[in-house]
Amino acid sequence: MGDRDATSELIPPPPPPLNAPQYGVSQPISMEPPTAAELELTKSLEFELQAKGVYESEQELEIRLEVLRRINALVKAWVKYVSVEKGLPPDQVERAGGKLFTFGSYRLGVYTRGADIDSLCVAPRHVERSDFFSSFFQMLKEDSNVTELHAVEEAFVPLIKLRYNGIELDILFARLALKEVGENQRLDDDGLLRNLDEKSIRSLNGCRVADEILKSIPNQKTFTIALRAVKLWAKNHSIYSNSLGFLGGISWAILVARTCQLYPNATPATIIEKFFLVFGTWDWPHPVFLKDSDTQSKRADIIVLNDLVWDPRNRVQDRYHLMPIITPAYPEQNSTFNVTKSTRHIITNEFRDGLQTMFEIVSGDKTWHNLLEEVNFFSRYRHFICLICATEDDEDHLVFSSLVESKIRHLISFFENNSCVNLCHICPRQFKPLASCDVGVDYKNPVVTLWFVGLDLNKSMKKNIDLTLEIQQFSDVVLKSAGSTKSYKSTMIVRPFYVKRSDLGKWIAKDDLMRGRNYARHRSSVVNISSINQKEIAGDKSRNIMLKVDDLENGDVPNASVQITSTSQPSSPSRKSDEKDVSPSDPLCIPNLLHSVSTPNLEGFNTCNLIVSVCFGSLFSFSKLAYLYSGATGDKQSASQLPIENATLSNPTGLMNAENGSSSASSTPSQSSDLQQQQESRKRKGFFSPPTMLNQTLLAAAAEAAAANATSHLPAATMSTSNEQQQQPQIKRPKFNYLSAPQNGTVH
């Protein structure tokens, strides 16, 4: 990206100076100012965001402000009412105060048209949580401007949901250990957390995290533009939902903020490119931090809260988090504890596809519309589980549908343990069924919501596919949770149905079915997401849900069927661990380079370490990003400097020839045979095939130029190689180490 010519792209810039300002847990990767081309690309990005209706008009913004003013006034009036009811003196009643805070996308300045407002009601110590869900709820109920009002008192973070003059709000509650909450009350003081109940601490966390994020970024305007684009991209690719196992708004904000810390002078367009580069190669489950979290020694006076801090060294449950993104406010917690194996795989694949698209935007082959346009969810998969949530009336439905949605992530986890399922993807959108659709309830005019789970089924399975156990486990979770609430009724029903893609038109409207562009279909880079071996499972007609799969290789299943009968003890198939992933040392794991000449930046490469293989991820874009094995290490403790993307290639002639699957270096017949066997093995396991075209002249020129530049900075001992090494070149896996600190100013 930029005005630099092709030759200068091959020469990486020097690392940032040792005295460069540090944002977050490490020094920045690049301090380069933006180029004219990058500024122009940012203008086109803002134009595209405007065209997609991301920004609200001044009139719409004024409506939001008026709603917040009215709710804030209602909070103050309610606190006074509770103070009088509890017999406080008149002067203390007047000073009791109360205040409404905002957090989430609204506080960060990235709210979109029609988005809800996350807010927090803060009250003094004599106002209890039970008052919030009784008298305050009643005050809202009596307000004629309020609609769709319901309380979610049993949630992990209890809240009240409503619409006020058409604006959707989520209101949390926190009680501070203070006599009064004035208009100038701030929430960033850790001392406020003393003597608070855990629910109040969780509720306060949203506001405190938003404030810490804004403090941690070098340029707020750059951050907000980039975050708007990333959130729109995530929503349009069906990977935006914390409750369903993807990333929520705070998680996306932390990732974009971390990218801004690494490139503090970059434009929003460059931040988006680096966002996909950094997190498309991140070595999960290494955590992402915005600031050093090792500060517990400063909080000995509130040591009880240290048990809430995310710490895999001392908390066993934290060791099983798959994609930890840590909030910057104390107590630091993982904002992505709902992520499952399937959702992490889907998210990281989307990161890599996004990086590929960014390379093409930079080269002028595509526009921002190609990155930000909506992708049709139903074009991704051929098999679906339709979850039906039905109740008798709207009021019951608001409560029960929220409960069911909060439990769907458990169904995803259950499916992941089935050897028949490679991958499962829940669509975050909710759907309404066609009027002609029979949802299987025994009362008239039910209120119904549908969710669809896309399934990537194991193609080696030629027998019946049994999902009974997983469905039964999910039903048990929902019924147990619903049964513990006072509002549960026997007419509240959740039911799963198997649906082929060709039958989706019987369930939902055509506009919903055809919405967005078709998904660019790639073969999965993971054979099976479950931890079990592929094994034939005999059919059993007594099981609830059975998918008859005759030929998964040829598209839709021609004879797929669902048998629904009653069974009390469904049996489960035997399970064992699956095959290990292909070793990174496998020559077929080497990233194959596109014949495209798009040349992204190489900011931050340390010239002392740079060797030819660093060109894989930066001088060329990847035709199949499943080959992107380079991993960025997770954030750890503060580092004085941040060497990045260190890699080693002993001989550039060892690069793979993608035309014939052989090495360009001389190889023996036995080596060629082994290579063919490895390639066939990878094909059977579902990995991408190598591209069929590769510009060998361009590749050789780039490798030679980069090798000459790299070796000129290497010590003599590093440059020398034995004859055996020259004859048998070995390609080592590139390492993107974002946090290793050099010793005495020298990179090792």
Among residues 131, 170, 396, 512, the one annotated as catalytic is 170
Q: How does 66-88 read in b/e, with b if 16+ C-beta sit within 10 Å?
A: ebbeebbebbbebbbbbbeeeeb
3-state DSSP assignment of residue 31: coil
Unique residue bearing structure tokens 């980069």: 706
- The phi, psi pair for 109, rounded to 5°, reads 80, 25
Helix residue ranges, H only, 380-498: 394-416, 468-483
**Closest C-alpha among 546, 550, 549, 548 to residue 563:** 546
Among residues 44, 116, 243, 460, the one annotated as catalytic is 116
Residues 6+ apart with CB under 8 A from 507: 386, 431, 433, 434, 437, 450, 499
Write the DSSP assignment of 461-486 as a string of letters. --SEEE-HHHHHHHHHHHHHHHHTST
Tally Cβ neighbours within 10 Å of residue 736. 19
Name beta bridge partners: 100.
Answer: 121
Among residues 23, 106, 240, 263, the one annotated as catalytic is 240
- The phi, psi pair for 736, rounded to 5°, reads -100, 90
Among residues 30, 83, 105, 251, the one annotated as catalytic is 105
Residue type, 601: N
Is 105 among the catalytic positions? yes
Taking a C-beta distance cutoff of 8 angstroms, is the pair 349, 342 a contact?
A: no
- For residues 477 and 486, what is the distance between their CA atoms, to the nearest angstrom? 17
Residues 6+ apart with CB under 8 A from 735: 630, 631, 633, 645, 646, 647
Among residues 26, 30, 106, 118, the one annotated as catalytic is 118
How big is the chain, counted in residues? 748
Using only C-alpha atoms, the chain has a radius of gyration, in whole angstroms, of 28
Is 170 among the catalytic positions? yes
- For residues 416 and 423, what is the distance between their CA atoms, to the nearest angstrom? 7
SS (H, E, C) 88-133: CCHHHHHHCECEEEEEHHHHHCCCCCCCCEEEEEEECCCCCHHHHH
- For residues 365 and 733, what is the distance between their CA atoms, to the nearest angstrom? 30
Among residues 52, 99, 231, 735, the one annotated as catalytic is 231
Taking a C-beta distance cutoff of 8 angstroms, is the pair 99, 120 a contact?
A: no
Burial degree of 697 (CB within 10 A; 0-12, 13-18, 19+): exposed
DSSP 366: S
Is 231 among the catalytic positions? yes
**Catalytic residue ranges:** 105, 116, 118, 170, 231, 240
